[in-house]
Structure 1
Amino acid sequence: MSITINKAKQNIIHKINKALGEKIAQESDLVMPSDYNLGDFTYPCFILSKRLKKAPDVIATELSAKIKSCQTVKSVSATGPYLNFNLQPKKLMQVLEDINDNYGRHTFGKNKKIMVEFAQANTHKSFHIGHLRNIIVGESVCRILENAGYAVIRVNYQGDIGMHIAKCLWGITKLPTQLEQVLNSKDINAKVEFLAQAYVKGSGSFEKSQKIKKEIIEINNKIYASDNAIDSLYHQTRKWSLQYLDKIYKRLGVKFDRLYFESETFKPGKDMVEKGIKKNFFQISRDAVIFVGSKHGLHDRVFINSEGNATYEAKEMALAALQLAEFNPDLIIHVVGKEQTEYFKVVTKALEY
């Protein structure tokens, strides 16, 4: 807050206490009036009513008659139970003179690091309004923290592996003509629109037959295994998505200190869970590996599925370990939807082990 404003508030409180004959009023009691025409600050006299055994409007009227104008205060008036103060124009001008690049900055976050993870758009899928909202919220949180003196680390965790990729790649194999067209195109938007079309086709076909479902699951396993049969198409289409997302981030004026990917967390995540099995932190259930959250008042969640692949939960554990190892922040903030609350409670509890 402006030094001038602080001094003005101190002056006003001193005048109120002098008129009362004792130190009762505090700077924190001063508020902005609901109607700016009433003044620059107002003091609600409800605070004094019980102690002075008078109605607050009576107290406001009596104080307004006692308090005189000065170099700081231009006028004092009572409006019902509120005691209003107008500052001198010269004093208000000094407030404007106080405004510079450091105006409103704080230092209580000095020497502390906070990591903010946001955006989290997936490759091979459309960028939608939810991602935009997440970026706006995440970047706003970063700027508020920076203004408070914290060293902020901006990171983005992007899903570049998983069933949504497999569905997209399966869809691509069913659209050979369109694939040939985009391969000959330099328009990144056209390529991403094609990926979205392929994903919709794959996603819509997944539950239509066991044969298609099996084919998509097989593609998913090949992606995890870096199978040569699918690796080239996977990396090429992944590159298209990342180029498109980078274009969006630049347009929004957002930069990240680190881009994390699920493709770099699934192996270490699986290793962490498998080590946890040996220590009885995780247990095998129906060919999958689960964390028994019900022991902790949470719900049970799968960390390695029946296909032997790490789930989001296991990847999240590896991500946390990676983030702590690389940046060692004092705090990590995940900008996510409220519906992910229970998910993060389970992952956090699993990380305690």
Structure 2
Amino acid sequence: MSVSPPRPVPVELWKPPAPESIAHSSRNPFASPISSDDDVSQISEWLKSEEEPSKVQPQRGDSDFVSSEWLDTLRIDSREATKPQPLPKHDQARQVRQIPQPEPSRASPPTAHLSVSPPISSSASTSSVATATTVSSSRPKQAIRYIGPVIVDPHDYGLLHPQEKHSTPERSLKQMEFEFEAFKKDVRFKMIQEFHMDAIKYECTLVQDLSQGEDAVTRIEQHEVRMLQLQRDKEDKRKKLVDEERQRRRREINEKDEEAPQAKAMEAFKREQEKARRKEQAKREEERRKEEDLKRREEEMQRRELEIRRKEEEMKERQRLEREQLEVLKREHASKKKAEEHAKREKVRSRA
């Protein structure tokens, strides 16, 4: 897409167009990039060092960021554009291009690209790169942009794939997935914090270099490379931590799956052992019961024998007493009979 060069406008009379139906944002309190003659002089020096006309970024006080589609409309094909009449050298600094205002619906930052997929990066309206830079880099087809931490990875997946089957109950697997998602979120928060802590150092270094008169285009390009590398490093570190945790959790699940048959066999073995133990215990209980019954019977027999023996002894004693009594009676009868016979003889003798 080519855009015809606008007519020259004096710097002191040029103002950026007012935004259309865009609410004022308090996130970017910085003033317009083109706010003094010093800025215009700096633009003039950059214009001299570049082969194609420079691209001036609009004032960002009314919007947080500029879309990549809008930046593409600012790129001018030098082969198709009609070059204006050459101006005197002292008038080149006052030649400023009038830039259209970005659409409100396209207010989204360009995203950095990783090797796997285009992840979503966070916008940074307070970036020193976006506020301190007023021209594009020396690369003709790439505009200066803020590089933020990766927010979403479309190719990220959970702990388990839906088609995987495990012996673990489904409720436990859902709980594991929930815990793993919480872990990934915590790692993402940690990487975002680390990214911004390192980005603060890089941006402070950039501001320090620019304030010391360093070459702005070179320093900004180096800063962009460092930020892209920082973004990749933090995302790679996050993926490494998540993958290690994923593999660890999957190993635990697989170990449980492998231990399940062994656990079942061990449980069956324990059940058999318990069954044999109970059977042996019942057998011993039966034997003990039989022994107690036999002992009780023996005791009963002994008691009966003792009772019979006692009765026999009582009978013998009674018979002995009866015999003794009979003997006494016999002796008494014999003595009585003798006495009667003696009396008869005495009576007969007395008569004779």
> Quick check: TM above 0.5?
no
Please indicate the TM-score interval, normalised by the length of the shorter structure.
Answer: under 0.3
TM-score normalised to the size of structure 2? 0.20
- Report the structure, 1 or 2, having the larger helix content: 2
- Report the structure, 1 or 2, having the larger strand content: 1
TM-score normalised to the size of structure 1? 0.20
